Structure 1
Amino acid sequence: MRANYRSLKSLKTYSIPFTGLKLGKHDFDYVVDGEFFKEFEYSLVKKANLQCHVTLDKQETMIILDFHIHGTVEVTCDRCLSEYNQPVDIHEQQVAKFSEEEVDENEEIITLNKNDVEIDISGLIYEYINVSVPFIAVCSNEGNGRDCDKDMLDRLNQLSGGDEQEKSEDPRWDALKKLK
């Protein structure tokens, strides 16, 4: 895994210069919003209101990054197609090792060499947030007092019911039913 994911100027905010830091823990705070996600062309998330707290623990041979990302991301309900704010609370850890050799890509370790002076965490933040978005997003399951859009659900049910009527009236289906 490489230390730098992207080198866009707008994501420069998410690079931590570690060469001047003393050994020990250091805290960094970031705001992650729609501007952040504009830099990732195919992002599932387009709008967000997130706070990201990173604790960097610099040691002799490695850096340990502890992430706490919390807030909301805007997602589309898979049931009624309305947009809603999905709560997010992420706790992750990443290890970056100082080494001249590349580490096996299967390992979840970032390799930093002697020429690296900073670590870009924008790619890590992006990955953690996108992985936290539920595979199936349904606004009524969030316990936020918001139910699915009843009008939209009714329209979708009408449209899906109409297709079934057409299928049952189609003579090709009747011919297949005779085969039983």
Structure 2
Amino acid sequence: MKSLRNYSIPFSGLSLGKHHFDFDVKDDFFDEFDYSLVKKADLKCAVELEKQETMLILDFRITGTIQATCDTCLAEYPEQVDIREQQIAKFANEEIDEDDEIVTLSKNDHELVLAGLIYEYINVAVPFVAGCGDAGNTPYCDKEMLDRINSLSGGNEQSDDSADPRWDALKKIK
């Protein structure tokens, strides 16, 4: 978890206004999370932090490629992502009801750890149904794998039901 400390912003010494931070999100980032949908990636995360007197406004822009697996032919391919998200962190003395868009910071907090947010944004951007035909680099799925899947599916069965005499007896009922 020490490597996730690299994805934090010490906001206590910053002046009011906008500040820019850049992070590289590579394979070692996802190694810190046990059940991540993404294992390999080459991403750039740009964060624009606007510090105000009562809150921090964080604008995320994550671009690059993640390694995805095609659901049809099981081939790995690079999936392009372009993520834009916003997060608000509010200063408060007592804990308020948090929702998805507001994080509460106490007066004792001096830095904001972004690793969890970055991880969440990337995993939500993974396509629900992944297909290498949509990636643009590989226009078609792996033909060899598709042929193998088709040969193992039930579509190429010969009519073996005629060899079983029980079926012949059932056909006479018509």
TM-score (norm 2): 0.88
Deviation per CA, 1:82-108, whole angstroms, max 9, x where unpaired? 100000000100000001222223452
Corresponding pairs, count? 173
Q: Distance in 2 between matches of 1:173 and 1:104?
A: 66
Structure 2 stretches of 5 or more lacking a match? none
1:45 to 29, 38, 41: 38
Q: CA RMSD in A?
A: 2.9
- Within 5 Å, which residues of 2 pair with 1:68-107? 68-107=61-100
Report the alpha carbon displacement of residue 173 of structure 1 after superposing the two structures with TM: 9.3
Structure 1 stretches of 5 or more lacking a match? 1-7
Match of 1:20 in 2: 13
- Within 5 Å, which residues of 2 pair with 1:1-180? 8-161=1-154
Structure 1 residues 58 and 152, CA, compared in 2 at 3 Å: closer, same or farther? same
Q: Distance in 2 between matches of 1:57 and 1:175?
A: 80
Contact 1:11 1:36 in 2 (8 A): yes
Q: Which runs of 4+ in 1 moved over 4 A?
A: 162-178
Structure 1 residues 151 and 27, CA, compared in 2 at 3 Å: closer, same or farther? same
Q: Distance in 1 between matches of 2:111 and 2:166?
A: 66
